[in-house]
A and B are shown apart, each in its own frame.
Chain A
Amino acid sequence: MDSVRSDRTGGGRPLPIALKILIAGGFGVGKTTLVGAVSEIRPLQTEEILTDAGAATDDISGVEGKNTTTVAMDFGRITINDDLQVYLFGTPGQDRFWFLWDELSFGALGAVVLADTRRLADCFPSVDYFEQRGMPFVVGVNCFDGAQRYSTDSVRQALDLDPGVPVVLCDARERQSGKTVLVTLVEYVAQRRGRPVPTA
């Protein structure tokens, strides 16, 4: 509806532009850790309530006897300057909540898929999701203490990634490391601009 779009700014203040970046990957891979490492605020949590009534219903009265589930999404924020903010959203750990992924990825700049080489298969659904939607993503290989180190090439091969997709080793706990992953993503997004969007 057009009425929700408004160019008026309250009190004449310019409003910042907010960009969304998704942090995806399997359960326990360090998504919230990464968000917390680079965010200027303690990660916040927003949640959505799911009911059996289904996403298409407008009215949820009468669902009292049905199951309800709460899905939490952690997010953080980075203020680039007065006009520009970056929001980092951790995707829900359970891949079955795809409709929430759709909401999160709507208008998003791109995604970081965190991978743990001990459980590489956990990030397959995330990789599939972003590939299918043509959303730019980078793979961050979270190097946990004691985790066997693999080369980025072997991870790329195991995930069967397109040649251009960046793969970086990182430590989700380290701010500098997290920043590097985000810079890699944004540069990749800019670089892809010059090319035609690949058709699936």
Chain B
Amino acid sequence: MPAEPPGPHHDWLDEEAGPLVRAYTMTGGRARPAAGGFDLVAFVVAGPPERLAGRPQFQPEHRMIVEMAQEPISVAELSAHLDLALGVVRVLLGDLLAAGLVDIHEPPAATNYPDDNILKAVVNGLRAL
């Protein structure tokens, strides 16, 4: 028998219980955002962090997103820098979007996107690196 770990003991937390999906505890168990697709390369831009003041429904992770998104930042980079799974970041972004605290700029979805001028710019840019 291993020694009892210090701290509060939960009878329902044993090996039989399996791993808890801890990452989703901060979303209240929600695995899907309230709205939106939040593409990996969608850009997030947040309003001033002060607007979160006095709103206890937001977690520290919400605040971190708002702080990191003072400059436009992609969803993928938010996930990497916060060390949170993509699904979790999307739920948190959905909360912030619903509260009007962030803007999300999804990549264009046109069929012939990007156009030839953009492709040319990419080739020239890559060559010049």
Interface residues of A (CB under 8 A from B): 1, 3-6, 8-11, 13, 15-20, 38, 44-49, 51, 53, 57-61, 63-68, 70, 75, 77-78, 80-81, 84, 86-87, 89, 103-104, 106-107, 109, 175, 179, 182-183, 186-187, 189-190, 193
Complex contacts, A17 vs chain B, CB 8 Å: 107-108, 114, 118
Q: Mark B80-106, 1 if CB is under 8 A from A, else 0.
A: 110001111000000001000001111
B35 near A190 with CB under 8 A, answer no
A46 near B86 with CB under 8 A, answer yes
Beyond A10-B103, A60-B24, whether A16 also contacts B122 by CB under 8 A is: no
Beyond A18-B74, A64-B17, A68-B21, whether A80 also contacts B125 by CB under 8 A is: yes
The 7 closest A-B CB pairs, nearest first, are A80-B125, A10-B45, A4-B36, A44-B80, A61-B29, A18-B41, A46-B79
- Distance in Å from the Cβ of A186 to the closest Cβ of chain B? 5
A81 near B125 with CB under 8 A, answer yes
B38 near A182 with CB under 8 A, answer no
Interface size classification for chain B: 35 or more
Given A3-B36, A44-B81, A67-B18, 7 other A-B contacts at CB below 8 A?
Answer: A3-B97, A44-B76, A60-B31, A84-B118, A87-B40, A107-B107, A186-B126
A sample of 30 inter-chain contacts (CB < 8 A) reads A1-B35, A3-B97, A5-B105, A6-B103, A6-B105, A8-B103, A9-B105, A10-B46, A13-B72, A15-B72, A17-B107, A38-B129, A49-B24, A60-B30, A64-B17, A64-B20, A65-B16, A68-B21, A75-B76, A75-B80, A80-B122, A84-B122, A104-B40, A107-B107, A109-B114, A175-B129, A179-B127, A182-B126, A186-B126, A193-B119
- Name the prevailing secondary structure of the B interface residues: mixed
Determine the distance from Cα of A87 to Cα of B37 in the docked complex, in whole angstroms. Answer: 18
Complex contacts, A61 vs chain B, CB 8 Å: 29
Determine the distance from Cα of A73 to Cα of B126 in the docked complex, in whole angstroms. Answer: 23
A6 near B125 with CB under 8 A, answer no
Complex contacts, B129 vs chain A, CB 8 Å: 38, 78, 175, 179
Interface residues of B (CB under 8 A from A): 16-21, 23-24, 29-32, 35-43, 45-47, 72, 74, 76-77, 79-81, 85-88, 97, 103-109, 112, 114, 116, 118-123, 125-127, 129
B18 near A78 with CB under 8 A, answer no
Contact among A15, A45, A189 for B43, CB-based, below 8 A:
A15
Determine the distance from Cα of A58 to Cα of B18 in the docked complex, in whole angstroms. Answer: 21
